[in-house]
Amino acid sequence: MLEVSSDLSVSLNSGRDDWDCRFIEVAHGVQNRNQFIALEELDRWRKQQPDDTELYSSFFRYYTDDPLIEPVLAGFGMDFDDEKNPERAQKEALPVVKYLMDKYDIKESDISISFSGAKGFHIFINRRVFGIEPHFWLPKIFKSMASNARRR
């Protein structure tokens, strides 16, 4: 069974569902990474970009604009890419989605699937499905979860 635990106390939550993780990494192009903005600035940032191509935002949420200070928060995401054959990426993604839905009784409404830049698919599961809370090691936990799900 996949489990995600947190070292944070629920008292840090202050009754909020987002634990005040209000910063996100954004980029316009591959070379322009490590820019962090408040979530409420995302729409304004997007409108300031010269075009809508190669826009990136991390699905991890941060407490501050310094990602090394605090734990991160996110839903469980997986990326299936095959630049030469996106259909193959789709064929690899579908059984993983089915496995996760069956094994963890995940509702279709809790899964988001999107095409990613002409080469594959992003699968994103709402963090509430697994009861995910902020954690320093969340990216590594997710990597392990994705590896386990792909082996099924």
Q: Which two tokens stand for residue 62?
A: 């941060």
Does the residue 50 lie in any domain? Answer: yes
49 and 123 part of one domain: no
Q: For the chain, 152 residues long, give each residue's pLDDT as a single digit of tens.
A: 333 333 322 223 344 577 888 999 999 887 778 899 999 999 999 999 998 888 888 889 998 888 888 899 999 999 898 889 888 988 988 999 999 999 999 999 999 988 777 688 889 999 999 999 999 999 999 999 888 887 76
Does the residue 40 lie in any domain? Answer: yes
113: domain range? 74-152
The number of angstroms, rounded, from the C-alpha of 54 to the middle of its chain's C-alpha atoms is 17
83 and 112 part of one domain: yes
69 and 79 part of one domain: no
118 and 64 part of one domain: no
Per the structure, how many domains does the chain have?
2
Does the residue 12 lie in any domain? Answer: no
At position 148, the amino acid (one-letter code) is: N
Does the residue 8 lie in any domain? Answer: no
Q: Global pTM?
A: 0.74
Does the residue 65 lie in any domain? Answer: yes
